Structure 1
Amino acid sequence: MIIVDLLISVIVIAVLQLLGMVVFSLITPFNDLDELKKGNTAVGLAFGGKFLGTAIILGVSAYTNTSILHMSLWFLVGYLCLLMTYYIFDWVTPGLKLSEHLQKGNLAIGVLLAFVYLGIGFAVSSLII
């Protein structure tokens, strides 16, 4: 029984992580995978930051909740905070069009966004406990 529960949990975690990345891909005005195929390091860094930020929130949600439903709900709350981060950060930097800089391969923007996503992932995960 424990192995079945573990397997179900791992599947749910993988599905939530993948869904999170699909949603992130949908909010960018360019195709993330096309940019990655071109070797756009800035997009790779930002996308990696999104992945790790999402994984941090998901990991803490899984660790601190005993049911898959509660884990999923807390992940949703944390994930929505992570999604809002992009829009808020874009809003507070009006002279910078983040998506344009990423698409042009601006590494500084890619690194900055990666760390913003990681920082928000850590900060939001502390609220889940």
Structure 2
Amino acid sequence: MIFVNILISFIVIIILQLLGMVILSKMTPFNDMEELNKGNVAVGLVFGGQFLGTAIILGVAAYTNSSIWYMALWFAVGYVCLLLSYWIFDWLTPGIKLSDQLKDGNKAVALLLACVYIGIGFAVSSLII
């Protein structure tokens, strides 16, 4: 029974992470998969930061509660926070349009945004009781 629960949790985590990737790619005016195929490291860094941020949230939610629904709820809360952090970061840096910088391969901006995602993931995970 424990193996089945672990397998189901793993599948749900993969689905939620992929859902997060799809949502993130809809936020940019360019094709993220195409940019990754071209070797755009900046886009890869942002995706990596987003994956780590959501993984932190999902990991803490899975550790603190055995409910798949609880984990999915915290994913939703955390992902909304990640999306908001993208828009707030974009708004707070008026001289830097994130989507343009990422498409142009600006690794400095991408690394900073990835760290914002990871930091938000840690902060939101501390709210999970």
TM-score w.r.t. the length of structure 1 is: 0.94
Any stretches of 5+ residues in structure 2 without a counterpart? Answer: none
Match of 2:127, SS state, is helix
How far is 1:57 from its partner?
1.1
**How far apart, CA to CA, are the structure 2 residues paired with 1:31 and 1:88?**
22
Shift of 1:8: 1.2
Match of 1:26 in 2: 26
Residue in 2 that maps onto 1:44: 44
Q: Secondary structure at the match of 1:127?
A: coil
Question: 4+ residue stretches of structure 1 with deviation over 6 A?
Answer: none
Question: What is the alpha-carbon root mean square deviation over aligned residues?
Answer: 1.1
Tell me the amino acid that sits aligned with residue 64 of structure 1: T
8 Å Cα contact 1:17/1:58 also seen in 2: no
Q: Which amino acid aligns with 2:39?
A: G
Q: Aligned residue pairs: how many? A: 129
Q: Structure 2 length as normaliser, TM-score?
A: 0.94
Question: 1:59: which partner in 2?
Answer: 59
2:69: which partner in 1?
Answer: 69
Q: Is the counterpart of residue 107 in structure 1 residue 107 in structure 2? A: yes
User: Which stretches in structure 1 are left out of the alignment for 5+ residues?
Assistant: none
The residue aligned with 2:12 is: 12
